């Protein structure tokens, strides 16, 4: 008896357009797709569930993207995605930093935008494990910049390893500004590289005030290494109003939320 071949999944025209948007942007919010295609949220959710079921994308809280919990997207792709949101977040974050302050800046494309936004400040003292951040800040001659030692990760200029952790642990600074890979629905802060996480934890412990910079697609995004919890933060700067779940988590954790509109 002959068996029929399994049907081959062929995405609809709208689903193909969704895949193209995700490919270009890295993450697309559900509401953006609703507006783009002039359909209901339920229709978009059905499309996303079908595409997810065939392994074509990953669903996150509030949207869809390509990333998985094991490996982050390539640095060059991350640097070009969500530029407007990162720039707005960076500008608002910079406004929270007074002249003459001492601060940590860790690894990440959003923290690099923050470094750029800080160039109008005076007399900052900055400790970083990010070569790109150091190079950006070096354009302001009034800054004192100290960079951690350790292994340089060639793809993104990150300095990682135990030497980086030890160096950061020598300081107690006014403000720690950190990026993140993801924040799960319980408020756990996550990232992709366990060595990055060790340095970020040390930054949080050695900062009088802590600021997390995270755009909308980090909420609900999975990653395999635990960095901490929202309770470890004083401030969160993001680009969209939070869902009720995350807003409640921040309120219960004592985190002041700033929306860069």
With bands split at pLDDT 50, 70 and 90, how would you rate the model's confidence at 35?
very high
User: Which residues sit opposite 147 in a β-bridge?
Assistant: 128
Is pLDDT of 148 > 70? yes
* pLDDT tens-digit series, residues 97-146: 999 999 999 988 999 999 999 999 999 999 999 999 999 999 999 999 99
| pLDDT at res. 66 | 67
Q: Yes or no: say if 179 and 109 are a contact pair by the CB < 8 Å rule.
A: yes
Q: Work out the number of other CB atoms within 10 angstroms of the CB of residue 56.
A: 18
How far is 34 from 32, CA to CA, in rounded Å? 5
Of the candidates 22, 69, 76, which has an alpha carbon nearest to the alpha carbon of residue 221? 69
DSSP character for 38?
T
Tokens at residue 30, please? 């559900």
What backbone phi and psi angles, to 5 degrees, belong to 71?
Answer: -135, 135
Residue of 136, 135, 137, 169 whose CA lies nearest to 150: 169
C-alpha torsion angle, residues 180, 109, 29, 92 (rounded to 10) = 90
Radius of gyration of the chain (CA): 20
């Amino acid at each position: 008896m002959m068996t029929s071949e399994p049907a081959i999944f062929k995405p609809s025209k709208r689903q193909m357009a969704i895949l193209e948007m995700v490919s270009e942007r890295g993450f697309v919010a559900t509401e953006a797709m609703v507006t783009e295609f002039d359909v209901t949220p339920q229709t978009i959710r059905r499309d996303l569930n079908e595409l997810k079921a065939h392994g074509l994308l990953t669903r996150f809280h509030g949207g869809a993207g390509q990333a998985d919990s094991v490996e982050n997207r390539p640095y060059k792709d991350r640097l070009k995605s969500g530029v407007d949101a990162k720039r707005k977040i960076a500008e608002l974050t910079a406004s929270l930093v007074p002249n003459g302050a001492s601060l940590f800046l860790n690894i990440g494309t959003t923290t690099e935008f923050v470094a750029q936004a800080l160039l109008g400040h005076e007399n900052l003292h900055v400790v970083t494990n990010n070569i790109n951040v150091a190079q950006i800040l070096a354009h302001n001659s009034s800054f004192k910049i100290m960079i951690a030692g350790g292994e340089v990760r060639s793809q993104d200029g990150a300095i990682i390893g135990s030497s980086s952790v030890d160096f950061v642990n020598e300081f107690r600074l006014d403000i720690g500004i950190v990026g993140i890979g993801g924040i799960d629905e319980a408020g756990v802060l996550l990232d992709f590289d366990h060595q990055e996480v060790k340095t970020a934890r040390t930054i949080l412990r050695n900062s009088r005030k802590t600021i997390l910079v995270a755009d909308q697609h980090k909420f609900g995004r999975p990653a395999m290494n635990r960095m901490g919890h929202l309770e470890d933060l004083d401030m969160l700067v993001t680009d969209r109003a939070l869902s009720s779940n995350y807003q409640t988590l921040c309120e219960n954790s004592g985190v002041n939320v700033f929306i860069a509109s």
